[in-house]
Structure 1
Amino acid sequence: MVKISFCGSFHSFTMRLHLVLLFPLLSQSLAFSSPAVVQRVQGRSLLSLSSDPLAETKTDQAAGAEEESSLEPLYLAASQQVEGALTQIISDENTLNPLVHFTKEYLTANQNAFKAGNEEASSGKAAQRILEGIKLGMTHGLGENKYMFGPSHTALRGKDPEAEDGNTYDFYAFGCDFFRPCMNVEKSVVLGQENLQKAMDQVAAGENVVFFANHQSEADPQVFSVCMEKAGFGENAEEVTYVAGHKVTTDPLAVPFSMGRNLICIHSKKHINVDPDTKPLKQKQNLAAMGALLQTLKKGGAAIWVAPSGGRDRRDLETGKVPIAPFDSKTIDMFRLMANKSKVPTHYYPLAMVSYDLCPPPDYVVAGVGEQRNVRFVPVAIGCGEEVSSVGGLESRDKFCKATEEACQRHYEALVDM
C-alpha cells in the first residue's frame, strides 16, 4: 500500500485536511462560479495512467486533456479546487494521481446527472460529497486511527452513540448519498419484485434469506440499496448483511463505505494465497468469520448478500461483453452447511446485478488495494429470481449450485437485453 508523506502527527494532518479541503468548498460552493477560478489553468499533468508516476507519455497527457475538457466550467472549477487542496497535503504522486482521477470521474458523472435533471448532482454538492469521501477515507482508512474490522461488523449509523463508541455519523446514508447521483434511478430496473417481497416477508417472520449474487462493482451494496428503495424496500435494505472481501475493509477510500454496512469479513479464495506467509492468519480469520455467520443465522431474520464467485465480473477483452463469473460451489456449500447448523429456516434466492458501467473494475485482478477508480452516470439494475429449493445431501450440491448460477444468468441476460 502506498503511503502519504506529510509533516506532523496524523491528528494535525486530519485537521489540516479538514481546513484545507472542507472550508473553501463546503462553505463557499458558489466560489466555483468565479471567473478567475474557472479560467485558472494548472501547469502540470493531472492524470498518469502509467505505473511510474514520473513517466508522462503523450498518451497520458492526451487522456488527461480529454478528461479535463469534458468538464464544463463549474465542474472544471470544482475539480481544480479539489486538486489544488489535495496537492497541498499529499506529496506522493502514487497517492495523489488516483484521487485526482477519481475526482474528475465523479464530477463528470455528476455533471451528466445534472444535465439529466438531478439537482443533487450540482457542482457544489458533488464537490462536497467527494471531499467528504476523501476526508473520511483519510481519517478512517489511514494512520493510527484507522478503523479495524473484526470477523463481523455492525453498520455504524450514529443512532446509538453509546453502542457505537461515541459515533454520531451515519455511514450508511453517506454511502448511498455518495453514489445515488451517479445512478440514473429513473431508468434503472428492478425485476422479480414479487420474489423480493416473498424474501422480505420470510425475514420479517424470523427466517433467514441468502441472496446468491453476481458482483460487478465496488458500489454494489449501494446499487442494491438504491434499487431496493425504488422497489419500496428501502428499510429492508438497511438491514442486509454483506459478505465482504479484504479490499473493502482495507482500501482507504473503501473503508468509510464499508463502515456503513453490516458485514461478514472474509478473505476470498482468489486472494488468500497471494502471500503464503499470511495464509495461516487469513485462514484463522475466515474461521472466525464463519463463526460470526453462524451466529447471525442462529438469531434468525437475517438477509445476507454474497457473491459466490469470490470477486467481480470482468470484461471479456475479445467480445467486450461482461459475463457472470462462475459461482464457486464450495462457497454455496458452506452457506447451506451453516444454515443447516443454525436450525433456522433459510431460503436461497439468485440475484442478478447489472452495475459494471457504474464503476468499471480493472480488466485484470489486482491483488492489492488502491486500484484506479472510474465512475459513470448510468442506469443500474437488479433481478431477483424465484427461491431455489435446498433439498438433498452432498450428492445434490453440484446440482444446487448449477441451478442457482443458471437462474442468476437468466435474470442477468434479461436485464442486459432490456
Structure 2
Amino acid sequence: MAELIQDKDASVVASVSGDDPDKCNEEVRHSRTFLDVRSEEELLSGIRKEEQLGTLTPNIAAAMEELFHNYKNAVSKSGIPNADEVVLSNMSVLLDRVLLDAEEPFVFPPHHKMLREPFDYYMFGQNYIRPLIDFRNSYVGNISIFNDIQEKLQQGHNVVMISNHQTEADPAVIALLLELAHPYIAENLTYVAGDRVVTDPLCKPFSMGRNLICVYSKKHMFDVPELAEMKRRANTRSLKEMAVLLRSGSQIVWIAPSGGRDRPDPSTGEWHPAPFDSSSVDNMRRLVEHSGVTGHIYPLALSCYDIMPPPPLVEKEIGEKRIIAFCGVGLSVAPGFNFSDAVASSMTPEEARDAYCQALFNSVNDQYDVLRSAIHGQQGSRASTPTILLSQPWD
C-alpha cells in the first residue's frame, strides 16, 4: 500500500506531463504567490495578500483558508509520516491553480477533454484526494466485471455506468480505486457533470483534469428563472456532443441520473442513494441504442460521503462549505442488463421506462448496502454476498 502514498516531490512533479518531449518543453504557468511557499504561515499570508490586491474576492479567500485547515486536519489523521509536507504541497498547487483561474478564467466547452499538458490536472486531482482515502478500509465490489468492461471497450463497444453520486470527489475516488487494476478505465472515463463543478472556483481545477459532458442539473434549472431557456439550449448542445462521442465507439461514460448528490435522511441521518430520474435514464439508454455502436449499461454504486459530504440541503449559491475527512470508500459494479430484461411486453412505454430505471436503482441500492456494511459496519470483505464480491485490488 506504500505506493499509494505520494510524497511532496511526487505531488508536484506528477503535475507536469512528460510523455511528449515537445509538450514537455512548454512552459507551465504558475503563480509565484503559492508555488514557492515553504510554510503554512507563508501560504495563509499569500491568500491574504491576494485578497488585498483584489485578485481574490473576500469570499474565495475565506473559502481557501477554511479549505486549507479542513484538509490539513483530515490528512493529519491518515498517519502518513510526512503529512504536513503533503498538505503544504497539495494545497499550494491547488491555490496556485485557483489564483491563475481567477486571473484568467477557464470556460468549459460542452464536451471537455481532460487537460494533461503542460500541466497535468488529472494527476493533480489524484494526488490531492489520495491521502484522504483510508485504503485499509476501502473496497471494490466485483472487480472481475471491470475486466469484462475493459474487453468490451477494446472491442469498440460503448459502456455507460448508471451511478449514485455522493461527493465532489467521486471522479477521483473512482479513479484511485481502479488505477492499479484498471488504469485505462480510470483515466478514460467521461463524466456527465453539473454546472456547479465547472463554475465553483475551488472545484474547477479538479474538473479540468476529467473528461466531462457539461450539463445544467434539473435541480438548478430554475434557480434564476430568466436563465432557464439558456440552460435548456446548453443541455441540448451537450446531448448532441454525447451522441457524437458515442458514435465514435470505445467510450465509457459515468452518469448520476438522480441529478445531484445523495443527501442523508433528515429523520435518521442515514445515507442512501437518491432516487433516479427515469427520463434521464431513458435518454441515456436511447443515446446508447441509437449510436450505431454496440453499447452496454451497468449499475454502479459509490460509498464515499464522509470524504467530502455535501451541504444537508441543496443550495442555490456557489461556494459551499467544504467539510473533509480521512475515511474508507467503496465502489461496486454489477452485471449489465438489457432494457428487455427488466420490462414486460404488456407494459406501456412509460411503465417500461420506469421499470428499467427502478431495476438499475435497485441494483445500485443492493451494492451500496454491501459497501456500507463493509466500511461503516466494519465487516470488511465479510460483507461480500454471492453476487457482490469485495476485494482490495491495490493490496
TM-score range, shorter chain: 0.7 to 0.9
Partner of residue 149 from structure 1, selected from 90, 101, 108:
108
* CA distance in structure 1 between the aligned counterparts of 2:96 and 2:192, rounded to whole angstroms: 26
Query: Contact 1:244–1:265 (CA<8 Å) still a contact in 2?
Result: yes
Tell me if 1:299 matches 2:248. yes
Tell me if 1:406 matches 2:362. yes
Please report how far the alpha carbon of residue 334 of structure 1 lies from its aligned counterpart in structure 2 after TM superposition. Answer: 0.5
Residue identity matched to 2:276: F
* CA distance in structure 2 between the aligned counterparts of 1:243 and 1:234, rounded to whole angstroms: 20
Query: Contact 2:60–2:201 (CA<8 Å) still a contact in 1?
Result: no
* Equivalent position of 1:290 in the other structure: 239
* CA distance in structure 1 between the aligned counterparts of 2:31 and 2:287, rounded to whole angstroms: 45
CA-to-partner distance for each residue in 1:148-175, whole Å, 9 max, x for gaps? 11111111111xxxxxxxxx11111111
Residue identity matched to 2:316: A
Secondary structure at the aligned position of 1:318 is classed as coil
Please report how far the alpha carbon of residue 378 of structure 1 lies from its aligned counterpart in structure 2 after TM superposition. Answer: 0.6
CA-to-partner distance for each residue in 1:245-272, whole Å, 9 max, x for gaps? 0011111111111111111000011011
Please report how far the alpha carbon of residue 22 of structure 1 lies from its aligned counterpart in structure 2 after TM superposition. Answer: 2.4
* Equivalent position of 2:384 in the other structure: none
* CA distance in structure 2 between the aligned counterparts of 1:148 and 1:188, rounded to whole angstroms: 35
Tell me if 1:21 matches 2:55. no
Tell me if 1:89 matches 2:28. no
CA-to-partner distance for each residue in 1:359-382, whole Å, 9 max, x for gaps? 011001112211111111111110
Query: Contact 2:157–2:250 (CA<8 Å) still a contact in 1?
Result: yes
Secondary structure at the aligned position of 1:211 is classed as strand
Secondary structure at the aligned position of 2:289 is classed as helix
Query: Contact 1:195–1:387 (CA<8 Å) still a contact in 2?
Result: no
Secondary structure at the aligned position of 2:269 is classed as coil
Query: Contact 1:241–1:305 (CA<8 Å) still a contact in 2?
Result: yes
* CA distance in structure 1 between the aligned counterparts of 2:60 and 2:37, rounded to whole angstroms: 22
Please report how far the alpha carbon of residue 303 of structure 1 lies from its aligned counterpart in structure 2 after TM superposition. Answer: 0.5
CA-to-partner distance for each residue in 1:15-61, whole Å, 9 max, x for gaps? xx933322232xxxxxx5xxxxxxxxxxxxxxxxxxxxxxxxxxxxx
Normalised to the residue count of structure 2, the TM-score between the two structures is: 0.82
* CA distance in structure 2 between the aligned counterparts of 1:155 and 1:415, rounded to whole angstroms: 29
**Structure of greater Rg:** 1
* Equivalent position of 1:206 in the other structure: 156
* CA distance in structure 2 between the aligned counterparts of 1:178 and 1:259, rounded to whole angstroms: 14
Normalised to the residue count of structure 1, the TM-score between the two structures is: 0.77
* CA distance in structure 2 between the aligned counterparts of 1:134 and 1:353, rounded to whole angstroms: 28
* CA distance in structure 2 between the aligned counterparts of 1:339 and 1:105, rounded to whole angstroms: 41
Query: Contact 1:348–1:390 (CA<8 Å) still a contact in 2?
Result: no
Please report how far the alpha carbon of residue 97 of structure 1 lies from its aligned counterpart in structure 2 after TM superposition. Answer: 2.1
Please report how far the alpha carbon of residue 324 of structure 1 lies from its aligned counterpart in structure 2 after TM superposition. Answer: 1.0
Residue identity matched to 2:311: P
* Equivalent position of 2:124 in the other structure: 174
* CA distance in structure 2 between the aligned counterparts of 1:200 and 1:307, rounded to whole angstroms: 21
* CA distance in structure 1 between the aligned counterparts of 2:200 and 2:58, rounded to whole angstroms: 17
* CA distance in structure 1 between the aligned counterparts of 2:236 and 2:210, rounded to whole angstroms: 21
Q: 1:361 to 1:154 in 2, by over 3 A?
A: same
* CA distance in structure 1 between the aligned counterparts of 2:265 and 2:44, rounded to whole angstroms: 34
Partner of residue 259 from structure 1, selected from 205, 208, 212:
208
Query: Contact 2:37–2:43 (CA<8 Å) still a contact in 1?
Result: no
Query: Contact 1:313–1:323 (CA<8 Å) still a contact in 2?
Result: yes
Residue identity matched to 2:87: A
How large is the Cα RMSD of the aligned pairs? 1.8
Tell me if 1:241 matches 2:190. yes
Tell me if 1:127 matches 2:92. no
* CA distance in structure 1 between the aligned counterparts of 2:35 and 2:287, rounded to whole angstroms: 46
* CA distance in structure 2 between the aligned counterparts of 1:178 and 1:299, rounded to whole angstroms: 32
* CA distance in structure 1 between the aligned counterparts of 2:312 and 2:182, rounded to whole angstroms: 33
* Equivalent position of 2:377 in the other structure: none
Partner of residue 345 from structure 1, selected from 294, 303, 310:
294
* Equivalent position of 1:10 in the other structure: none
Shifted more, 264-273 versus 83-92: the winner is 83-92
Residue identity matched to 1:412: Y
* CA distance in structure 2 between the aligned counterparts of 1:241 and 1:20, rounded to whole angstroms: 33
* CA distance in structure 1 between the aligned counterparts of 2:261 and 2:67, rounded to whole angstroms: 19
Secondary structure at the aligned position of 1:304 is classed as strand
Residue identity matched to 2:75: N
**Structure 1 alignment gaps of length 5 or more:** 1-16, 26-31, 33-77, 159-167
* Equivalent position of 1:136 in the other structure: 97
Residue identity matched to 1:223: V
CA-to-partner distance for each residue in 1:274-317, whole Å, 9 max, x for gaps? 11111111111100000000011101100000101010001223
* CA distance in structure 2 between the aligned counterparts of 1:85 and 1:138, rounded to whole angstroms: 11
* CA distance in structure 1 between the aligned counterparts of 2:187 and 2:308, rounded to whole angstroms: 22
Q: Structure 2 matches for 1:179-190, cutoff 5 A?
A: 179-190=129-140
